[in-house]
Chains A and B, each alone.
Chain A
Amino acid sequence: MPNARLYKTEAVVLRQRRLGDADRLLTIYTTAYGKLVVKAKGVRRTTSRMSGHLQPLTRCMLQLAQGHTSDVVAGCETLESFQPLHEDLDRLSRAVYVAELIDRMMPEKSPGMATYRLVVETLRRLASDDGGDMVLRHFEMTLLGQNGFQPELGNCTGCGTALEPVENFFAPRSGGMVCPSCASDSGGARAMSLTGLKVLRLLQRGSYEEAARLRIEAELATELERHLRSYIVCVLERDVNAAAFMERLRREARRLPART
């Protein structure tokens, strides 16, 4: 008879926290159960057979045993280690941001294959480094859409009329764009360039390949990042810690251009 208290699932490890002497509490995003918090015993010892397979930002096959408070990792094997992410600080900081956003946005035990695929694809793109920040913008937009937080980009959220092709405003708290005449009524509305709006619409339609082909100037990239960040902070009702670290790296890279 198979042991009903053991089950298997594929997962991406999002984060780890120390627990007790040699254990860790892992937050994982699984195919079958969505986000879970599980215990990994003894993985902080150097002789642990599992620790190398359970590092954050690895995709692995897990065998889990039902426990009293949280389930326990009984076995694991790496499927994909996304090694390039662990070798470059800029890539790593972006990948950590992805993991944190999933952790904060997704409730426990609500499975979603679309989101799982999005996480894995995003990590692969970051590891191959072909799109830079656009990978993150696509990830943010798609994740928001999948969770019912798709911002309104077609009509004004104030008066409901279709947006004119002029400079409009983005108001996170109203859930999307507002036209210039409604902008003064909605708190926190900030100007959004017409090109910026077009890029966001393209991202909202979904295809990463199309978005990756765009040539985005640094100024526009910053604008998109700011708008989406303010929207995410509004949805989560809190800041995303990893974003601060990404910004710090960028700031210091400007100050130390001579680094290797």
Chain B
Amino acid sequence: MNEPLTATAAPLARLIDEFYKLPGIGPKSAQRLAYYLLRMPAREAQSLASAILEVKEKVVLCTVCQNVTEIDPCRVCSDDRRDRSVICVVEEPLDILAIERTHSYRGLHHVLHGAISPMDGIGPEELKVGELLARVRSGETQEVILATNPNLEGEATAMYLTRLLRPLGLKVTRLARGLPVGGDLEYADDVTLANALEGRQEMPD
């Protein structure tokens, strides 16, 4: 909290305080943003304010895939050109965008909204795991692709989900780990390189 300075008008000080609460914004940035808004045309400020309100009012979680959406079920879940037998499980809504950018996935998604992190006390009940289980039990799902991040938390989550999903008689797959495009072989760590060797593929003609 900033000290109430007499040099700063009270509404402006309040705006600075609000900005200061945002992630990655320090006291100086908060001031800069607030003064920038002050000089902004009223129309633009109005549009920013309404955008913030609209996001809070209209964006909900899709009851099927738990992605953020303004219509429920979301566009992907209600699209009948999608392959409904495959579900790709990701940690965050942004991961869906990354997967969609590839244009090579036509199945459905499921957002967990986090990853299991035993040290931080984040267990399966903090994630949308129950929703995923209910979904695969009731639906026409044949394969679940675990696309959690290839780090400790993501791997723990993938292994945990495998334990729950395997007994249901599904095909459970994990995204391959290998070398990134544009990387140098000599800098690759042993785990990645070993995985890349294991998952090598014949050169296409």
Chain B binding site: helix, strand, loop or mixed by DSSP? helix
Contact between B119 and A99 (Cβ–Cβ < 8 Å)?
yes
Q: Is A46 an interface residue (CB 8 A)?
A: yes
Whether B167 and A89, one on each chain, are in contact in the complex, defined by CB atoms closer than 8 angstroms, is no
| B152 and A57 form a contact (CB under 8 A) | yes
Kindly list chain B residues whose C-beta atoms are within 8 Å of the C-beta of A165: none
Within 8 A of B (CB), among A216-246: 241-242, 244-246
- Chain B contacts of A174 at CB under 8 A? none
- Assess whether B159 is in contact with A97, with CB atoms less than 8 Å apart: no
CA distance A96 to B159 in the complex (A): 14
Q: Interface size of B by Cβ–Cβ distance < 8 Å?
A: 27
> Are B120 and A241 in contact, with the CB atoms below 8 A?
yes
Residue numbers in B under 8 Å from A245 (CB-CB): 116, 118, 123
Digitize B58-102: 1 where CB-to-A-CB distance is under 8 Å, 0 elsewhere: 000000000000000000000000000000000000000000000
A157: Cβ under 8 A from any B Cβ: no
* A56/B152 contact (C-beta < 8 A), A78-B190, A89-B159, A96-B119 known: yes
Chain B residues contacting A69 (CB-CB under 8 Å) are: none
B94 to chain A, nearest CB (A): 12
A210 at the interface (CB under 8 A from B): no
Chain B residues near A86 (CB-CB < 8 A): 152, 155, 191
Contact partner of B119 among A55, A83, A242, A252, CB < 8 A?
A: A242
Which one of B1-9, B14-22, B29-37, B177-185 is at the interface? B177-185
> In chain B, what residue has the closest Cβ to A57?
B152
- Indicate whether B160 reaches chain A with its CB closer than 8 angstroms: yes
A259 on the B face (CB < 8 A)? yes
Question: Does B204 lie at the interface of the complex (its beta carbon under 8 Å from any beta carbon of A)?
Answer: no
Assess whether A3 is interfacial by the CB under 8 Å rule: no
Residues of A within 8 A of B171 (CB): none
Tell me whether B191 and A244 are in contact (CB under 8 A): no
B118, A97: Cβ atoms closer than 8 Å: yes
Report the nearest B residue to A92, measured CB to CB. B156
Would you mind naming 17 contact pairs between A and B with Cβ atoms under 8 Å apart?
A46-B180, A47-B183, A49-B187, A52-B189, A52-B192, A55-B152, A81-B191, A88-B159, A89-B163, A92-B152, A92-B156, A92-B159, A241-B119, A241-B120, A241-B121, A258-B167, A260-B166
Give B residues with C-beta under 8 Å from A: 24, 116, 118-121, 123-124, 151-152, 155-156, 159-160, 163, 166-167, 180, 182-184, 187-192
Q: Which 7 A-B pairs have the closest CB atoms?
A: A52-B189, A245-B118, A241-B121, A49-B187, A242-B118, A89-B159, A46-B180
13 further A-B contacts with Cβ under 8 Å, apart from A20-B24, A97-B118, are A15-B119, A47-B183, A51-B151, A53-B189, A55-B191, A81-B190, A86-B155, A88-B159, A89-B156, A100-B119, A242-B118, A244-B118, A245-B116
